[in-house]
Amino acid sequence: MTTVSPDISNPVTLSNWARTEAAKRWALDNLGRWHWFRPEDLGAPPTFHMLDDGPTPVAMGHVDGVVTISVAEADPVLSTTRREALDEPYRTMIGHMRHEIAHMLWWRLSLRADFLDAFRAVFGDEREDYSAALQRHYSNGPPEYWNQNYLTSYASAHPHEDWAETTAHLLHLTDITDSAVSAGFSSPDFPHPNWDPYAEPDANALLRVAVSVVTGVNHINRSMGLADIYPFIISPAAQEKLAFVHEWLRRGSQGR
């Protein structure tokens, strides 16, 4: 799926590109559990432009099925520097992948006759001027009580970013929970020992278990003086949005 690759004459670029490809494949495999981008998916797959930063950073994003990613973001020092400069609680390459692929998924779903009205009822009207909304966000910051309605401050900038952030978080939470089950961990919150989070039809049940898992792992990290792996609070409004995304992604590429 990678149609543009970076110049690998620099060994650091090659290493960063390898990490970026690994994150891409992990994110795509997550979505494959819901039949996205597998052979049975007859819709357009994403294509990736993997670029290295030059004199100016690469603008990551999605346009008409093409996801552009800066492989430089796989460098932990650069990623940490930018995370701190932007006052973000979390910034990783797999996070970038899930966020940008989420934009591509919105594009795919928007081709359906029954999606846009449902989306606008939950996230707002994406036809709002995107550039002006981002400029306002970066100039004025998020609204005062953004965390009552959004998972991240950036999600408050525009409905497109709210969708992408919410979708990325659904993938975070589902995969963290699936990884705990696959690793053989047990919890009284698991419906049964062989429970498959990706097959769970009840979004709220999935989220209850996921919150329990991430809370426990956060405490494990704190015991070693490390940052929380999931440093976010899920408000009732954000939970409603997560459930909306879950419903549409579980329908999968088959549109069920």
The residue assigned the tokens 């846009």 is 116
Q: What local confidence, expressed as pLDDT, does residue 255 receive? A: 61
Q: In this model, does residue 55 exceed pLDDT 90?
A: no
Q: What local confidence, expressed as pLDDT, does residue 56 receive? A: 85
pTM score, two decimals?
0.94
Q: What local confidence, expressed as pLDDT, does residue 45 receive? A: 94
Q: In this model, does residue 15 exceed pLDDT 80?
A: yes
Average pLDDT along the chain: 94
Q: What local confidence, expressed as pLDDT, does residue 152 receive? A: 96
pLDDT tens-digit readout, 89-123: 999 999 999 999 999 999 999 998 899 999 999 99
Give percent of the chain above pLDDT 90.
87
Q: At what angle do helices 159-182 and 11-32 cross, to 10 degrees?
A: 80
pLDDT tens-digit readout, 124-171: 999 999 999 999 999 999 999 999 999 999 999 999 999 999 999 999
Q: What local confidence, expressed as pLDDT, does residue 256 receive? A: 59
Cα(first)–Cα(last) distance of the chain, in Å? 25
Nearest to 174 by CA among 93, 98, 117, 236: 98
Task: Give CA separation, 204 vs 59, 128, 194, 247, 251, in Å.
Answer: 35, 30, 19, 11, 16
Q: What local confidence, expressed as pLDDT, does residue 60 receive? A: 93
Contacts of 92 (CB under 8 A, 6+ apart): 23, 79
Q: In this model, does residue 253 exceed pLDDT 70?
A: no
Q: What average pLDDT does the segment 18-42 reach?
A: 95
Contact yes or no for 96/82 (Cβ under 8 A): no
pLDDT tens-digit readout, 59-95: 999 999 999 999 999 999 999 999 999 889 999 999 9
Encoded tokens for 10:
């620099």
- Burial category of 59 from C-beta neighbours within 10 Å (exposed 0-12, middle 13-18, buried 19 and up): exposed
Contact yes or no for 46/37 (Cβ under 8 A): yes
pLDDT confidence band for 52 (50 / 70 / 90): very high
SS3 115: coil
**Whole-angstrom Cα distance, residue 175 to residue 34?**
12
Contact yes or no for 102/168 (Cβ under 8 A): yes
Nearest to 95 by CA among 179, 5, 175, 182: 175
Q: What local confidence, expressed as pLDDT, does residue 252 receive? A: 74
Q: What local confidence, expressed as pLDDT, does residue 70 receive? A: 95
pLDDT tens-digit readout, 195-204: 999 999 999 9
Do β-strands 2-4 and 47-51 pair in parallel, antiparallel, or remain unpaired? parallel
